[in-house]
Amino acid sequence: MRGFFNKLLTGMSIGIVVALIPNALLGEILKLIIPYFPPLQHVFDITVFVMSLLPVLIGVMVGVTFKLSPIQTASVGIASMVGSGAVEKTAEGIFALNGIGIVVNTGITAALAVLFVQFLGTSLKAYSILLMPTLGILIPGMIGYMLLPIMKRSTGIIGAMIGQVTTLQPVLMGAIIAVIFCLIILSPISTVGVATVIMLSGIGSGAANLGVVAAGVGLAIASYKANSLGTALAHVLGSPKIQMKNFFMKPKIALPMVITAAFLGGLAGLLNIQGTPYSAGFGLSGLVGPLNYITFAEGGWTPRNISIMLSTFFILPTLLNLGFIYIFSKKLKLIQSSDYKLDFE
């Protein structure tokens, strides 16, 4: 069971990063260039579309991780898309993309699809290419689809609980929300999904964003020795979710990041760092968080605001994480670089 869970989370992590990285790297840059070179709008649109392919990529990468056959892998990808909720049919009969769907449900559907194709094995023989994709839609895909409303309600419940936190004093609220989002970004739950459910904005959004920053920067630093530089940077530029498996196996690896998040979240309340429901879950990915802070800060690109942005989104996350990682690894001996090793380089 542990091995199954490990492979599932590894496949999900790879799929998430592959789907999100193009927009994370190019999104904000393209927005600045498009007014001067409109043809790049198509490139930007494609990166957004690729994000909506996340469920398929999760399914495919889960299939690869389990060493399934090409037909089985494709079937898991299709079933994952069915159960993700990423595609909706409008009243006019048009199929519309709905973001990245519900990632938790995508993972559950992928797991069901893997178990299903493994159960079938080679029993379909020459008919596999005809029946397996279809059966993948009808059985694991539709089971996942029927679970979708439950998973959406679960996201809503988490959002409602966070909504209660927003009524607290700003500094305390910021610290708590940052810690919550630091932990959510390491789970299959979508930070953006939770934030948009309750329309988390203002200081709450800024604190949530800094919680994601704390996770991304801290994990990049902690994992550097165990992984390549590119993989380490993926925690920041892509998503800290690539550490999902390691986090679930050893939750203690997130301790330095959680404490850093609390500090940064408190600063969000103190310095009035704000954002939108969309920016709340992105951290440094695409520079969405820092740029949103400047947008809402009084005066815009003033020296003071630039200093605050650089300090809270770049300098302090680095220094605080370095300090706490040193304490937990060298002094307390609770973590080590091998805890952050990823298996897909």
Q: Dump pLDDT digits (tens) for 125-135.
A: 888 888 999 99
Alpha-carbon distances of 233 from 79, 170, 228, 253, 335, rounded to whole Å: 31, 31, 9, 18, 20
**In this structure, are residues 173 and 166 in contact, taking their beta carbons and an 8 Å threshold?**
yes
pLDDT (tens digit per residue) in 181-195: 999 999 888 887 788
Question: What per-residue confidence (pLDDT) applies to 345?
Answer: 52
Cα–Cα distance, 153 to 332 (Å, whole number): 40
- CA-nearest of 208, 196, 212, 214 to 165 is 208
Question: What per-residue confidence (pLDDT) applies to 129?
Answer: 87
Residue 83 φ then ψ, to 5° = -85, 0
Query: Coil, helix or strand for 89?
Result: strand
Q: What is the rounded (10 degree) CA torsion for 232, 237, 241, 247? A: 30
pLDDT (tens digit per residue) in 256-282: 999 999 999 999 999 999 988 877 888
Collect the ranges in the chain with pLDDT lower than 50: none
Question: What per-residue confidence (pLDDT) applies to 157?
Answer: 82
Q: Give DSSP secondary structure letters for 161-177.
A: HHHHHTTS-HHHHHHHH
What pTM, to 2 d.p., does this model score?
0.84
Phi-psi region of 287 (alpha: psi -120 to 50; beta: other; left: phi over 0): left
Residue ranges covered by each domain of the chain: 1-155, 166-345
Largest CA distance in the chain: 68
Question: What per-residue confidence (pLDDT) applies to 174?
Answer: 93
Question: What per-residue confidence (pLDDT) applies to 17?
Answer: 83
27-32: long-range contacts at Cβ-Cβ below 8 A with a sequence spacing of 24 or more?
Answer: 27/286, 27/288, 28/286, 28/287, 28/288, 28/291
Cα–Cα distance, 332 to 334 (Å, whole number): 5
